[in-house]
Amino acid sequence: MPDFTADQATEAITRLFDWSQNFDFPSPASLFLDIIGHSEEHFGARLCADSAPSIGYLEAEILGQALAAWADRPRDCEETVETLLNREANQ
């Protein structure tokens, strides 16, 4: 398992959320939130319950890095997710 610094974990999550801006809903970030249980815990339901995003090899790599970062540093990643979701809500 890779060892992420807090900055590397933040970068991996931010990259996923930034890349997901290129997608209609549901995005790879939505799938990430479902996989880590964030969407059910904070929104009461899975975001990709009806359909999952179609992802290619690049999106799979970005999602994989975000999941690896979360597995290694879940608290840092959770803080980053909250920051990014608040940023999106305020746009």
Quick one: pLDDT at residue 53? 83
- Whether 32 and 66 have beta carbons less than 8 Å apart is answered as yes
Output the pLDDT for position 1: 59
Is residue 60 one of the residues assigned to a domain? yes
The model's pLDDT over 29-45, given as tens digits with 9 standing for 90+, comes to 999 999 999 999 999 99
* Tokens encoding 43: 């929104």
Q: Does residue 41 lie within any of the structural domains?
A: yes
CA geometry: angle at 68 spanning 24 and 85, to 5°? 40
CA pair distance 18, 76, nearest whole angstrom: 17
Residue 1 lies in a domain: no
Query: pLDDT tens digit string along 54-68?
Result: 889 999 999 999 999
Between 24 and 31, where is the model more confident? 31
Q: How many domains does the chain have?
A: 1
- Residue 29, domain member (yes or no): yes
**Residue range(s) defining the domain that contains residue 64:** 6-89
CA distance 71 to 22: 25
Query: Are residues 80 and 13 in contact, defined by beta-carbon separation less than 8 angstroms?
Result: yes
